[in-house]
Homo-oligomer: A and B are copies of this chain.
Amino acid sequence: MTTKDRILEEALRLFSEKGYDGTSVESIAEAVGIKAPSLYKHFKGKEEILNCIIDISEKRYSENFGTAHSSWELPESKEAFIKVSKERFRFTLFDPNIRRIRIFMTQEQFRNRRMAEITNRHKMEDVQNIFKKILTEMMEAGIVKKDDPELLAIELASPAVLFISKGDRMPESREELLEQFERHVRHFCDVYFIKQ
């Protein structure tokens, strides 16, 4: 791992913990194990670090949630659907990289137009498009009742978003949130899946 990558890693960690304005260039350098002026051999300044992190955030997010890359195989049954949903939810909730990006985005979205757009693309488009796609396919396969897949995607996704936010705020509640999420998905299945 290069020094440049280590700088970006530590900067993201610090930004997510203290915010951009609350993080000094010196503290980033210290976390990396170099002196502040050495940082300028790799980046023009603090703002360039920020922009690189935004780039990374955008990339990692689209890798993990973009419709293109996201290859869920179609769940064949209610239990398969619950299992794969839970795995996905657990990963999103616990993965430290995704988590740091999410917390950082949550804080920075109001002062950075690009950050607002990325946050939005993620929460309002990517997540819902994944669910929309799966739900559409499951409707066609006769597993889920025919309905507006866009609306159902929101019904399915938004409690997850709420739980994830709580998990970021209070990490100690994450195990409990997994259970809450399962209850929600099971309920969703009870309502919208075709009984066999």
Contact partners of A21 in chain B: CB under 8 A: 19, 21-22
The segment out of A47-55, A73-81, A152-160 that lies at the interface is A152-160
Q: How far is the CB of A55 from chain B (nearest CB, A)?
A: 20
What number of copies of this chain does the assembly contain? 2
- Does A191 have its Cβ within 8 Å of any Cβ on chain B? yes
**In whole angstroms, how far apart are the Cα atoms of A21 and B191 in the complex?**
47
Kindly supply a per-residue 1/0 record for chain A positions 8-30, scoring 1 wherever the CB is within 8 Å of any chain B CB and 0 otherwise: 00000000111101100000000
The segment out of A35-43, A104-112, A131-139 that lies at the interface is A104-112
Tell me whether B19 and A184 are in contact (CB under 8 A). Answer: no
Contact partners of A159 in chain B: CB under 8 A: 154-155, 158
**Known interface pairs A107-B107, A161-B162. Does A184 touch B168 (Cβ–Cβ under 8 Å)?**
no
Kindly supply a per-residue 1/0 record for chain A positions 146-186, scoring 1 wherever the CB is within 8 Å of any chain B CB and 0 otherwise: 00100100110111011001101110000000001001100
**In whole angstroms, how far apart are the Cα atoms of A103 and B110 in the complex?**
8
Q: A158-B159, A161-B162 are in contact. List 12 more A-B contacts (CB 8 A).
A: A16-B110, A19-B21, A110-B169, A116-B170, A119-B169, A120-B169, A123-B165, A148-B187, A151-B184, A151-B187, A154-B159, A158-B158
**Can you give 25 A-B contacts (C-beta < 8 A)?**
A16-B110, A19-B21, A21-B21, A21-B22, A106-B106, A107-B107, A110-B168, A110-B169, A116-B170, A120-B166, A120-B169, A123-B162, A124-B162, A151-B184, A154-B159, A154-B162, A154-B180, A155-B159, A155-B184, A158-B158, A158-B159, A158-B162, A161-B162, A162-B162, A191-B191
